[in-house]
A and B are shown apart, each in its own frame.
Chain A
Amino acid sequence: MDKKSLIEQQKEKWENTTLKKVLQKFPEQKESFSTSSWLPVERLYLPRQMSEEEYLERIGFPGEYPFTRGVQPTMYRGRFWTMRQYAGFGTAEESNQRYKYLLSQGQTGLSVAFDLPTQIGYDSDDPRSVGEVGKVGVAIDSLEDMEILFRGIPLDKVSTSMTINAPAAVLLAFYIAVAQKQGVAKEQLRGTIQNDILKEYIARGTYIFPPKPSLRLITNIFEYCSKEVPKWNTISISGYHIREAGSTAAQEVAFTLADGIEYVKAAIKVGLDVDQFAGRLSFFFNAHNDLFEEIAKFRAARRIWAKIMKEKFQAKKEKSMMLRFHTQTGGSTLTAQQPDNNIVRVTIQTLAAVLGGTQSLHTNSRDEALGLPTEDSVRIALRTQQIVAYESGVTNTVDPLAGSYFIENLTDKIEEEVLKYLNKIETMGGMVQAIENGYVQKEIQDAAYKYQQEIEKGDRVVVGVNKFTVEQEKPKEILRVNPLLRKVQSEKLMKLRKNRNNQEVDKALQALREGARDESVNLMPLILDAAKAYATLGEICNVLRDEFGEYRESIVL
């Protein structure tokens, strides 16, 4: 009569007969098994009794609360995820060429990588920019560079994601200004700015200002865009870098959602209605090698966020409860040894993202542990997505792994772990406090240390690194950035500063300075004015540095 107990009985019988016989002759490879992030994994998962009510409440239907099965009712049957390769290097001219190449190869959205001086709000001719200009992305010093970057790319046709955080408002202003010059209205623009400062303090490191003024800039953007650029994703709350820094899968979700909670709180605190901005929040996660753990992670993240938005923040619109996310495959899982093996890793990670219901995806290139990817490597990475989309068949049904005893169990486990962290952070007074007292960084570092120690001891196998190694590796072709780039950019800047209307620049910067002093002012229109007057990124950020001060890392080891 009781289905579960019958299965249980049979299980016991199986353990004592079939299983026992085999184990006596062939013991398992390890005493215990776990996911990559140390969640225990049992030998066998069995059906768990779940009432229909419980199914509807916790799993439900795609496109409906709590979105465990996905944010759209048809998922990839309607349209594939956006294939979006993060790219940019050297000058705006070179990056513009790479974008046109990627679009010609079937990429469906742009993703701009900026160099580090741009990300930290320094002009290329700043002494702190030495060695870094154009290295990890494109160097953008002013609107002039941005005009070149998007030359010949119609901004009403593409959606553009920009990995920019501390100076996100400035780069968004450059983008809006370029669009206007192309005759494209703000209202038509589609894209995303990362704009997630909290994870910069935790993991990524391109912060400028302290938390308080940084949160103000973020809420200024939320407010401005909700009125002026309504299709723009105003933030991409990112777990990617947290995971790259060595966190577990559950920590990745926990700390990302904790950051998200902080942004929602900040926006509500300045008087925004939750449904006015929450629909434009987007997320960004990592995809590592442990296929099932990753899939469960994405599903758990959607369910938890939906519940937080509905219950904690009383969102009314379904859109406000949807966790839409971009995924990038895991850079830290790639090896410098036998780099072609990375193509296989990226394929597994692509499957994880797709089976987890991602909205867009960047696949890493095989040679990223060696340097900047070559055009060949980038093409293979994009083809990997296309093969999964067009050939593997995994896109034909929605959330295909739902109902797997293991996947549902793991989804619950991750949810449990995440909720523990969220409660702990709440009792600490929120995420800003948890970051300032180093708690979050310490948790990540401990996980990273443990992980690396397992590799050192050989307990964790990394193919080609601590097992199946080869002696001599043949050198790989890598992409080089022109070392004289800083000089090229500096000369451009000199010319710009000579030719622009400097009176207008000074006026715009002075207005920005005054605005910065008055917390009730939205800085976005003032930054846009300065951008249009060809004030440089460094000049704009320096005004804000003067007024807001700079953040200093709290070192935890």
Chain B
Amino acid sequence: MSRKIRILISKPGLDGHDRGAKYIARALKDAGYEVIYMGIRQSPEAIVKTAIQEDVDFVGLSLLSGAHNELFPEVVRLLREQGANDVIVFGGGVIPQEDISYLKEQGIEAVFTPGTPIQKVIEFIETNKERVLH
């Protein structure tokens, strides 16, 4: 039996639209993952600190205010700076199509936009979990 996958869900930036983030957190928990939900208005620094302390495998970021191009990459950058090289970062929210390729270049491995079924997120985790389960 392998250990459970640990996922951190958080909202960087200042927007309070947490319906999506809370839904994802609860649905992933129901799907059998260990989920840590940090809540709204978290700084990239606080997210990275929690990710490292809690030894998570994935970090899911949700943002609806339009600050994703600044804040998502900052989380990846800080994670790598602090040696958390194999933590996989994904994101979601109101994110224009044309920003997705930029975010992927910056190390956000998947971006889930409104209307995405939860199954897609689970598939993403299942496909990539081998990389984090050493």
Instruction: Show the binding face of A for B, using Cβ within 8 Å.
Output: 116-117, 119-120, 128-132, 135-136, 200, 203-206, 244-246, 332, 335-337, 369-372, 445, 448-449, 452, 456, 462, 465-466, 475, 478, 481, 483, 553, 555, 557
Contacts and interface: CB of A to CB of B under 8 A. Distances in A.
Given A131-B13, A132-B14, A557-B25, A332 B97 contact: no
B71 interface: yes
A371 B14 contact: no
A319 B37 CA distance: 45
A204 B27 CA distance: 22
Contacts of A205: 15-18, 40-41
B65 A332 contact: no
Nearest to A116: B14
B37 A555 contact: yes
A536 to B, nearest CB: 17
B25 A336 contact: no
Contacts of A200: 16
Nearest to A137: B65
The A interface is mostly helix, strand or loop, or mixed, namely loop
A332 B15 CA distance: 15
The B interface is mostly helix, strand or loop, or mixed, namely loop
B16 A204 contact: yes
Contact of B66 (A128, A371, A462): A371
Interface residues of B, number: 36
Nearest to B24: A452
Contacts, number: 100
A462 B115 CA distance: 9
A129 B67 CA distance: 10
Nearest to A336: B114
B94 interface: yes
Given A120-B14, A557-B37, A337 B66 contact: no
B19 A245 contact: yes
Interface in B2-46: 13-19, 22-23, 25-27, 29, 37-41, 43
Contact of B67 (A135, A452, A466): A135
A472 to B, nearest CB: 12
Contacts of A371: 66, 94, 96
Contacts of B27: 449, 452
B110 to A, nearest CB: 16
Nearest to A370: B96
Contacts of B66: 131-132, 135-136, 371-372, 481
A336 B40 CA distance: 23
Contacts of B37: 555, 557
Interface string B42-82: 01000000000000000000000111111100000000000
A116 B71 CA distance: 14
Nearest to B114: A336
Contact of B70 (A116, A131, A553): A131
